[in-house]
Amino acid sequence: MRYSYCLFDLDGTLFDYDKAESAAIQKTFQDHNVKYSDSYLLEYRSINKQIWLDYESGLITQDELKTERFRRLLEATGEVADPGKFGVAYLKNLSQERALLPGVIPIIELLSENSIKMYLITNGLKDVQRERLAGSGIKKYFIDVFISEEIGAAKPDKRIFDESFRRMGFPEKAEVLLIGDSLSSDIAGGCSYEIDTCWFNPNCINNNSDFKPKYTIKDIAELQKILNL
Ligand SMILES: [Mg+2]
């Protein structure tokens, strides 16, 4: 079996999202001369997780969440600042964070040398993702980038896969491999779309979900073997 198309998730698979988020939050507090404590990052992560669930349930729009998550964070930490300005500054700071995870460049180069057609499929905000990608040095290897905010549907929703496949020129599903770190968005989406999935699981988390990836890898370099390169 040889895959000729690789559909990559971006954050947590190629980009070091934890590092990016942490740096951007800290810088946003500094920009506004508001005291920062390490516990604020954990608080933010918990608020942000809940607010994306609220968004997925239709309780809040994507535009509203940009400010609302900082209104909640400032309230929880007792710091005083304008949440709207925090929201704007945070996205600007996040868009400047482009750290890649270890081993990404060599494997992407290897796939490119072997004419594997590579695409990105990401749940995220278009301005942030496009800006980060532009400065990352890996954009040139990808034929197209599918961003949930632009498409109007997020993984695991079938509609983002339909639109991605249309823009890829309707490849055979058997030729496509999806690589991602999230069971609930990447692996769930790929399984229900009936394409093979590769779960990037560097921290060796147990899979207690209903979604079973075809492959599980700890190191991105393992793709070489899966693709028979
Ligand atoms: Mg991810």
Ligand 1: centre distance to CA 174 (Å): 23
Site of tokens 């997780």: 49
Cα angle value 143/12/51 (rounded, 5°): 105
Query: Is 17-95 in CATH node 1.10.3720.10?
Result: no
Report whether 85 contacts 33 (CB < 8 A). Answer: no
* Spatial separation of the C-alpha atoms in residues 114 and 119, rounded to whole Å: 15
DSSP states along 161-195: HHHHHHHTT---GGGEEEEES-IIIIIHHHHHTT-
Residue of 9, 11, 16, 157 marked catalytic = 9
CA-based nearest residue to 125, from 147, 107, 99, 144: 147
Residue 135, CA distances (Å) to 12, 15, 32, 73, 141 in order? 17, 12, 25, 29, 13
Domain boundaries 5-16+100-226, corresponding CATH code: 3.40.50.1000
What pLDDT shows up at residue 46? 97
Ligand 1: centre distance to CA 113 (Å): 25
* Spatial separation of the C-alpha atoms in residues 85 and 8, rounded to whole Å: 32
* Spatial separation of the C-alpha atoms in residues 55 and 169, rounded to whole Å: 31
* Spatial separation of the C-alpha atoms in residues 9 and 154, rounded to whole Å: 12
Helix (H) or strand (E) segment spanning residue 121: strand 117-122
> Long-range contacts: 81-88, Cβ < 8 Å, 24+?
81/32, 81/34, 85/32, 86/28, 86/32
The number of residues making up the chain comes to 229
* Spatial separation of the C-alpha atoms in residues 88 and 6, rounded to whole Å: 33
Mark whether 162 is an active-site residue: no
In tens digits, the chain (229 residues) has pLDDT values of 589 999 999 999 999 999 999 999 999 999 999 999 999 999 999 999 999 888 877 898 888 999 999 999 999 999 999 999 999 999 999 999 999 999 999 999 999 999 999 999 998 888 899 999 998 889 999 999 999 989 988 899 999 999 999 999 999 999 999 999 999 999 999 999 999 999 999 999 999 999 999 999 999 999 999 999 9
* Spatial separation of the C-alpha atoms in residues 127 and 123, rounded to whole Å: 12
pTM summary value: 0.89
Which amino acid, residue 86?
A: F
Q: Which residues of the chain form CATH 3.40.50.1000?
A: 5-16+100-226
Ligand 1: centre distance to CA 171 (Å): 23
Q: Which residues of the chain form CATH 1.10.150.240?
A: 17-95
Ligand 1: centre distance to CA 185 (Å): 8
What pLDDT shows up at residue 1? 57
Residue ranges near ligand 1 (ion) with Cβ within 5 Å: 9, 11-12, 181-182
* Surface-to-core class of residue 58, CB atoms within 10 Å of its CB (0-12 exposed, 13-18 middle, 19+ buried): exposed
Ligand 1: centre distance to CA 140 (Å): 20
